[in-house]
Amino acid sequence: DTGVSQDPRHKITKRGQNVTFRCDPISEHNRLYWYRQTLGQGPEFLTYFQNEAQLEKSRLLSDRFSAERPKGSFSTLEIQRTEQGDSAMYLCASGPAGTGGNNSPLHFGNGTRLTVT
């Protein structure tokens, strides 16, 4: 168990550029989540996958944000035409298959800190 890995750890980009982040979950976990967190706030739900299927997503992912998990293993989160308000920590978490109602713990990665200048 090597934990959840996220890359890069930090990303500085100029407004209007596109960025892509990667998350490698714990290998036997079939659930994968993306959250966004700003200073002093709780993690904000973006989307989650069960295997390769994207089951739920927030309104944010209907616009400039998109996420994929093509083979049910690693996932990518892309932000197009970045804005200064996108500056935040982007957290990925994974969890084992549950029996419904999210009854097993999530393991978080250390996040990717995005700064949009």
Partner 1 sequence: QQPVQSPQAVILREGEDAVINCSSSKALYSVHWYRQKHGEAPVFLMILLKGGEQKGHEKISASFNEKKQQSSLYLTASQLSYSGTYFCGTVWQYNTDKLIFGTGTRLQVFP
Binding range to partner 1, per CB under 8 A, among 15-23, 70-78, 80-88, 104-112: 104-112
29 binds partner 1 (CB under 8 A): no
What is the residue whose two structure tokens read 């200073």?
39
100 binds partner 1 (CB under 8 A): yes
What span, in angstroms and rounded, lies between the C-alpha atoms of 40 and 63? 25
Binding range to partner 1, per CB under 8 A, among 9-17, 19-27, 75-83, 87-95: 87-95
54 binds partner 1 (CB under 8 A): no
Q: Rank residues 19 and 95 by Cβ distance to partner 1 and give the closer one.
A: 95
| Burial readout 14-25 (b: 16 or more C-beta within 10 A, e: otherwise) | eeeeebebebbb
What span, in angstroms and rounded, lies between the C-alpha atoms of 18 and 94? 25
Question: Which of 42, 59, 62, 71: binder of partner 1 (CB under 8 A)?
Answer: 42
- Nearest 5°: phi and psi at 61? -80, 5
